[in-house]
Structure 1
Amino acid sequence: MDHEDQTAALLAPSPEFLATVHVFPLIPAIKKDVTRTIDSALTWDQLTASDINFTIVRPIVLKYAKLKNMAVVFACLVNRANFLEESEDDLAYAGVMLSRATLCEILAMKLLSHFASNHINLVAVLTTSWSPLAGASPEVIAEVKQVLGSNANVSDAQSALEVAISTQAKQFISSPVAQKVVNDIYTGRIVFSTAATRSMLADNYKPKAITIYDSRDAPFLDHYRLRVPKYGAILEFLNFACLLVTFVLCLSNQDPTQVTLWEVIFVIFAVAFTLEEYTAATEHGWIIYIANMWNVFDTSFVLVFLCYAGMRIKGLSYGNLASSEMAFDVLACGACILFPRLAFFAVSNNVVVLSLRAMIAEFIFFMTIAAICFSGLLFTLWTLGKASWTIKGIAWLMVQIWFGNTYLSFGQAESFHPFFGPILMTAFAALSNTLLLTILISILSNTVARIDANATQEHLFQFAISTIEGVKADALFSYQPPFNLLAFVVLKPASYVVTPRTLHTLNVSLIKATSFPILVVIGVYERYFAAGQSLRESSVDAAHTLFNSLPRQIKNMPFVEALVGSTSSNLYEAIFEVDGPTGPGLFDESDDEDFPQLRSFASHDTLRSADHVQRRPSRVSLAPRSPHRTTSPGPHGSPRRRPLSALDLGVASAEVPSSGRSPLAKFFAHVDPPPVSPAGQGHVEATMRRVETMLEDLRELPVHRLKDEMRELQERQARIEQLLLTLTRGMRSSDTGTGKLK
């Protein structure tokens, strides 16, 4: 029986439920609230400040969190994309639009945390492809079609992660909640598939719902594991290594007059590589595809290969030996891309590599601007010295002067013109070597500093891009080059004539036949050597046992300690896992009573078990009360919750918290009167003195201080509202004045 036909419990929301989610009403509603709220340019730090968060962000978040709509994060990011586009169109209000886009990103981050309690729903919120027109009326859909055109595709859907990548919402992507989902997708712990809409070869017969992968329930040869980004990165490295080897052998055995065996093998691998890159760009869209810095290298090599192929075909068809030789010369330039590309696989997440990418982009932009600026000088020099100079020669001379050969400008200046030549060449040498190169170095230095400061966000952003690219719905992505060419030749024509079920069966059979060794290795690894498997755990335990049995002299050797790790950390972890009492007589109870605390009485640190009902004095807290549970460290130091008994719970007052040891509780507590006897007369006097002390303590209760703090908060809120009202009134006055001037 096919494992895919077995009925499995769906842990994620069903497709029927997701189809009923209304997306479109959220988009204009969020835009209206954000537009009404932000009327001035604010930075990220200002929007995340406590006062702005309390008065502006939190009410909006609570408003949309009550809807429990799983598309609300997607709607916030769609509004971010709209505000970013408006900031480019209207430069006068670019700062305001960017602030609104930033607020949309903050709202998306905070609303995403409301779905974090259910991990499967959290994954569905980020990975489900939402249609922005879902829930819209037919009139709205007709208007959108009229704006886009009759041939526009209005059913194009994207996930929240894809929109975040396209809008470069790096703060949102680098947030812990989003990265938890990205890490689970990358390692294959979360398994899902989306319907392919723009793919070269779509296989949508059995889309997998979002589930948590368990190797014990999955088939041994599971072809879906080929789409796990972690395994895909390893296979991509091996495929690229094979392409590089065939590239080197092709150039080492080149023959312009005929086609060699190594050239044929290289062409097959290169065509398969080109098909894979084109399929990825088609499936994810050019914006998401090009956002990955490594895809720029891949696209550059594809262009080099296409130029080589065109020249080589021309040379072989017409017997043009010069064209064939030029084809191999062009192909040789591809080594400048392939060798660094393979090397960067190992250090793709290094800060130096991220800085290098940004520096290359800044350098290309700066050089383009400089070339445009000096094109006028090139034309002037050609006009003055066209009798003895060509444009190519003048351009090469200017390049040499630009990169440091300043003496050439003085030696060749008079060859252009006896009067204007020295003046122009001296000015060009001064500008290029003194001014512009200094500016270029400053720009590159600032770029490195900026990337170094935001290295974590940039790394997580690139990691999210590669992960989303790894979960590809196109059927061709399950084939390793050059077998994707075979799948394309066989399955693409078959998709027009066979049923979806037959196409799916044929696709699965071909994947297992072409990737059988890879599936076997993945199956063995996940069942025996992956984290949490019995064989790996037993091996680790055996290694620890062997290490503990070694003599102390061997354990303390620097090489062994560096290889295994220090034993001090294990000792520290063991100390904190032991839930033992403090030393006897170390502190008095009075010291615990007077210890300052900034938490409410219901905090889990202040609760006691039913066997020790001793309550510490609580302090005043303005935070809303919520039920708490005590925690005890688990086997690995993580908190383990336990249910509370009735004696564990305490009642916290909003104004004057009371506890078993507060002065007020001691005063009103029932105390049995001591027997009247001469011997107990001193005890009665001591009791009276204690009562007087308690009355003195009642005067120092923090009731007045709490009232002062509440009054201060009210005054601060009133000042903020007055400030916002003043800003809004000023904006309206300026708009009215502008309208009158018009």
Structure 2
Amino acid sequence: MIAAIDDPYTLGELRTPRMTSLLVRPLVDRLYNPDDLSTVYCLLANRVQFLRSQSDEALHYTVNIARATLCELVAARILRRFHEDHPRRPGLLLLANVLVSGFDPFDAAPDEVRRRGRSPQWPAQERGGRERKLTALELAILSESKILVASLACQRVVDAVYRGLVVYTPVSLVDILPDHYKHHPVSLYDPRRASILNHRRLIVPRLRNLIELWHFAVLLTLYALTMIHCNGNTHGTRKLGIYEAAFSIFTAGWVLEQFAAIIEHGWEVHAQNLWSFLDITFIFIYAMYGAARAIELLLGFDINLALPILCTAAPVLLTRIAFNLMPDNIVFIAMHAMMRDFMRLTFIAIWCFTGFLLGLVWLMRTNFDTSTPSWQANSPTYVTIGKWLFWIWFGLDGTGIERTADFHAVLGPTLAVTFAFLGNTLFLTILVAILTNTFSKIMDNSAAEIEFRRAVLTFQGVKSDSIFAYPPPFNMIALAVMLPLKFILGPAAFHYVNVAIIRTVNAPLLLIIACYERRRVWARGIMAKSSSRTWHFGLNPYGDIQAVFGTEPPREVVEAIEKLDVLSESVELQQDIAIVGGHHSDWGAHVAQARRRKESSGSVYESAAY
């Protein structure tokens, strides 16, 4: 990639027909190997490195971005070739191995190079030789490779993993309750051959999302009951009601589940989730509530502080429900991206504008005599001055500009007016421009953004930590009992005990899942047997439009079409040569013939690439 790209190119320039024919396609032809499944992973690993090195090499900033984009384009083309060359169910299994099978970055390296080159990280847990492995899909999410994720081949695998058709044991960063006695490779799932109480179906992303949504609904219900039945006077702060106790216990288990989800694949991947910032906000509010409630109960203080803090969680929880119910909504996707830019820019502004606060406070100290008793009565506090600046920032009140004249007749108003220009005018203008640019980029590529978020949900839904198999608050009991038991029992005995308890706790849910999946497979088999006959039910006036394309044409019509293709091939060949140009006429004829052959064989081929 370094040899191929030495100048900055945008994505649009790299996707032009000329760059496709001179650069992208030769790299695909050279790197594509049907027997090597790690090529896509290696290209995405190089993309991650180019994106990270752009901050270290300022002179090659745009060049490294172009190289990273080229890595993504070539990886998407290679993945498409795997998809075209391997159709049907065996091809799906091959694509799944390409995207979700783990690879070691130091694979095939000598032991000396491994010891010298590996970076320090969290102590790797024993996984039978599968430690420190990453997947191509994880690297695509980490590097935000939305072109590759939105491709047909990648979405085929993502949809199969989401529905549970493709099952595998993921490799996580660290597990709270690890159980790696059995490792299940990437395989296709058949409900008729699986056990009735198959505990591994609890990590299927579609089912996992429904389970987590149910857990959050229980949390929201307990929260509402707690706030409705809370005692508003200070005399009730020493008592813990039944609803508040149930809410506190269940929420502690829910927080444990969220913490395990964060360390499952790391914060960089978890932050791609739409409602990750809402979860962190609620966990912070719950921690403050827990600390204040513990002080009230243990020390006997009637300060009534915990429940008011808990009231601030209402907008967070209700907003998260909307994110859960509509994760594919482009408005919420844009809101997530704009929130990230807003927080980053606001933090920078607060850091810079703190100088105005200190300048006004120190200017006030030079005007007031701090040794006199009237110092506290006549001078405004830090909070008051900060409140003035906050009102000026949002253009709500100009009191601070008038009051700063008491600090100094000239310098006080000068600082306040300068802050008003920089904060209320310049900063807000820049903020609106940045958020508008972010929103326009997302809307221009809305389909890829939706597919990328769906891939994030799918990848995060496959869990390897057995703590997720225990619903809250049973996960806290499992952590307190099963984790010490792991150090007493052997790996095999702990696995069997852990699986037995998981199946006992989730027996009703596992039975419902097994009956549903077997019923669905049986219904699909009946439909497959009767697919030779076409039945049309209902009063649909447009049903014939779909039916005519499902009907085989007469044999004489097929023969006539084949004869027309032979007669028109020479004309189309001349047109292709004219498009390519006189300098590449031989290459154009070769491309046109290849396209004719691929179209006649019925394979999917994008002629627009020429």
Q: TM-score range by the shorter chain?
A: 0.7 to 0.9
Where structure 1 has 5 or more consecutive residues not aligned to the other structure, the ranges are 1-33, 549-554, 556-566, 585-602, 609-613, 624-701, 718-742
Contact 2:162 2:206 in 1 (8 A): yes
CA spacing shift, 1:501–1:263, aligned 2, 3 Å: same
**How far apart, in 2, do the equivalents of 1:604 and 1:89 lie?**
63
Contact 1:228 1:471 in 2 (8 A): yes
CA spacing shift, 1:131–1:441, aligned 2, 3 Å: same
Cα deviation, residue 262, structure 1: 1.8
**How far apart, in 2, do the equivalents of 1:714 and 1:537 lie?**
48
Matches within 5 A, 1:488-637: 488-528=479-519, 532-533=523-524, 548=538, 567-580=540-553, 606-607=561-562, 616-620=566-570
Output the amino acid matched with 2:570.
V
Deviation string 1:225-264 (CA, Å, 9 cap, x unpaired) is: 1111111111111100111111222233253112222222
**How far apart, in 2, do the equivalents of 1:709 and 1:339 lie?**
57
Aligned equivalent of 2:155:
179
Aligned equivalent of 1:668:
none
**How far apart, in 2, do the equivalents of 1:499 and 1:65 lie?**
44
Contact 1:194 1:207 in 2 (8 A): no
**How far apart, in 2, do the equivalents of 1:320 and 1:331 lie?**
17
CA spacing shift, 1:204–1:422, aligned 2, 3 Å: closer
Cα deviation, residue 583, structure 1: 12
Deviation string 1:29-83 (CA, Å, 9 cap, x unpaired) is: xxxxx11111111111222222222222222222222372111111111111111
Q: TM-score, normalised by structure 1?
A: 0.69
CA spacing shift, 1:457–1:508, aligned 2, 3 Å: same
Matched, 1:44 2:11: yes
Aligned equivalent of 2:218:
242
Cα deviation, residue 712, structure 1: 2.8
Contact 2:103 2:133 in 1 (8 A): yes
Cα deviation, residue 291, structure 1: 2.1
Matched, 1:356 2:329: no
User: RMSD of aligned C-alpha atoms?
Assistant: 3.3
Cα deviation, residue 127, structure 1: 0.7
Which deviates further from its counterpart, 428-437 or 516-525?
428-437
Percent identity over the alignment? 30
Contact 2:47 2:68 in 1 (8 A): yes
Contact 2:392 2:420 in 1 (8 A): yes
Cα deviation, residue 268, structure 1: 1.3
CA spacing shift, 1:220–1:621, aligned 2, 3 Å: farther
Matched, 1:457 2:436: no
**How far apart, in 2, do the equivalents of 1:502 and 1:473 lie?**
18
Output the amino acid matched with 2:52.
E
CA spacing shift, 1:531–1:378, aligned 2, 3 Å: farther
Q: Choose from 484, 507, 511 the match for 2:475.
A: 484
Deviation string 1:552-604 (CA, Å, 9 cap, x unpaired) is: xxx5xxxxxxxxxxx132111222333446999xxxxxxxxxxxxxxxxxx99
**How far apart, in 1, do the equivalents of 2:381 and 2:259 lie?**
41
Q: Choose from 443, 448, 466 the match for 2:439.
A: 448
Matched, 1:305 2:286: yes
Rg (Cα) greater in structure: 1
Contact 1:199 1:283 in 2 (8 A): yes
Matches within 5 A, 1:252-401: 252=228, 253-254=230-231, 255-322=236-303, 325-386=304-365, 387=368, 388-401=379-392
Aligned equivalent of 1:62:
29
Matched, 1:141 2:114: yes
Contact 1:170 1:461 in 2 (8 A): yes
Output the amino acid matched with 1:338.
L
Aligned equivalent of 1:166:
142
Aligned equivalent of 2:57:
90
Output the amino acid matched with 1:414.
A
Q: Choose from 181, 193, 204 the match for 1:205.
A: 181
The higher relative CO (CA closer than 8 Å, separation ≥ 6) is in 2
**How far apart, in 1, do the equivalents of 2:513 and 2:292 lie?**
42
CA spacing shift, 1:244–1:487, aligned 2, 3 Å: same
SS of residue matched to 2:328:
coil
Q: Tell me the number of residue pairs that the alignment of Structure 1 and Structure 2 aligns.
A: 558
SS of residue matched to 2:502:
helix
Cα deviation, residue 525, structure 1: 1.9
Which deviates further from its counterpart, 254-263 or 351-360?
254-263
Aligned equivalent of 1:123:
96
Contact 1:127 1:159 in 2 (8 A): yes
Aligned equivalent of 1:132:
105
**How far apart, in 2, do the equivalents of 1:297 and 1:492 lie?**
29
Contact 1:487 1:510 in 2 (8 A): no
Cα deviation, residue 621, structure 1: 8.2
**How far apart, in 1, do the equivalents of 2:96 and 2:579 lie?**
45
Output the amino acid matched with 1:260.
G
Cα deviation, residue 462, structure 1: 1.6
Where structure 2 has 5 or more consecutive residues not aligned to the other structure, the ranges are 369-378, 589-610
Aligned equivalent of 1:676:
none
Aligned equivalent of 2:601:
none
Cα deviation, residue 490, structure 1: 2.6
Q: Choose between structure 1 and 2: higher helix proportion.
A: 2
**How far apart, in 1, do the equivalents of 2:297 and 2:191 lie?**
53
**How far apart, in 2, do the equivalents of 1:706 and 1:90 lie?**
43
